[in-house]
Amino acid sequence: MYTLLTGIIITTICGNLVVIISVSHFRQLHSPTNFLTLSLAIADFFVGLLILPFSMIRSIEACWYFSDTFCKIHSILDSAFTVISVLHLCFIAIDRYYAICDPLHYASKITFQVTAMFLSVCWAVPICFSFGLVFTGRNEDDSNPAYFNCEGICNVTFNTILALFTPLVFFFTPFVIMLGIYGKIFIVARNHFAAINNTAAKTTSRKEMHSRGLKQVESKAAKTLGLITGVFLFCWLPFYVVVVLQSFFNISVSSFIYETLGWLAYFNSACNPIIYGFFYPWFRAAFKTVVSGRIFTEASSCINLFPTNH
């Protein structure tokens, strides 16, 4: 178990570190969309670095060997990073909506200043909310105000209202919004392709072929980000369903199932770099550049990461 979970932790840390280095270093990747991707990778990197090692020990040993105060900090960061990831995916969906559905006004609406505002909300709201709940004691169960169920176990309890309110507001509602946005994106992208194909059947001018290629790239990017959202939902939905069933409907779930679903949710932090590797040519090119050491050469930040047909 230690070998398996350590492998997940290393994959999470190293994969997201490559994304962080790539977007930060290569000037070609400096765009509002990629800065959102960078911030999401930072959140996943911190999950692998600050959350998963201690969760691994707790899951395998069935005991919390660290202090009560650190249990609170660990729990705060654990829940905060989940909400941070959800908000990132929401703002990425909004970014893609304007890029595909309203491309003429995209540059004026999704500026670096707007992206900075998005990122401020993504990080400030979840951290303040989590710290406020745990350190003020608002999260405690009314029937059992003790923070720990027993000595040596790090288990934050939530009262019935918060157990239903938190997943509903910070998980289910954002994903309903995202599904609506991506549904609209795919409808518009399909209409664009139909119009472009009709035009291409009559003429094959260089300008129209270039426009067609740009639309294909935008659509592929939207599908990839939609896949990232779908994988996040697949990894986290079972865990949140169990949390609601346990807290609100008082349904008992074995510790094995709970821990398994918890690590399925954690595994999402390792999934995004894998998805980038399969679907983003720039990620594969950046990965090769970083691993080969070419990143330390002069003017490496200006290397072209995109295929010539892009």
pLDDT digits (tens, 9 = 90+) for 229-243: 788 889 988 988 888
Mean pLDDT over the full length of the chain: 80
In which region does residue 55 sit, left (phi positive, over 0), alpha (psi from -120 to 50) or beta (all else)? Answer: alpha
The predicted pLDDT at position 149 comes to 43
| 266 domain residue, yes or no | yes
Helix (H) or strand (E) holding 274: helix 255-279
| 308 domain residue, yes or no | no
Give 157's pLDDT tier (boundaries 50, 70, 90).
Answer: low
User: What does the pLDDT average to over 178-185?
Assistant: 84
User: What SS3 state is found at 265?
Assistant: helix
* pLDDT above 60 for 211: no
Helix (H) or strand (E) holding 205: none
Give 144's pLDDT tier (boundaries 50, 70, 90).
Answer: very low
Give 145's pLDDT tier (boundaries 50, 70, 90).
Answer: very low
The predicted pLDDT at position 308 comes to 54
Tell me the pTM.
Answer: 0.83
User: What does the pLDDT average to over 42-60?
Assistant: 93
| 177 domain residue, yes or no | yes
The predicted pLDDT at position 150 comes to 41
The predicted pLDDT at position 251 comes to 78
User: What does the pLDDT average to over 264-280?
Assistant: 86
| 310 domain residue, yes or no | no
| 209 domain residue, yes or no | yes
| 307 domain residue, yes or no | no
**Tally of domains in the chain:** 1
User: What SS3 state is found at 156?
Assistant: coil
| 178 domain residue, yes or no | yes
The CATH number assigned to the domain holding 238 equals 1.20.1070.10
* pLDDT above 80 for 159: no
Structural domain range at position 15 = 2-302
Nearest CA to 51 among 8, 86, 4, 1? 8
Top-ranked range on mean pLDDT: pick from 62-71, 110-119, 155-164, 267-276? 110-119
The predicted pLDDT at position 55 comes to 93
**CA-to-CA separations, 87 to 61, 270, 307, in angstroms, rounded:** 33, 18, 31
The predicted pLDDT at position 185 comes to 82
Give 246's pLDDT tier (boundaries 50, 70, 90).
Answer: confident
SS3 content of the chain, % helix, strand, coil (to 5): 80, 0, 20
| 174 domain residue, yes or no | yes
Nearest CA to 263 among 77, 1, 43, 73? 1
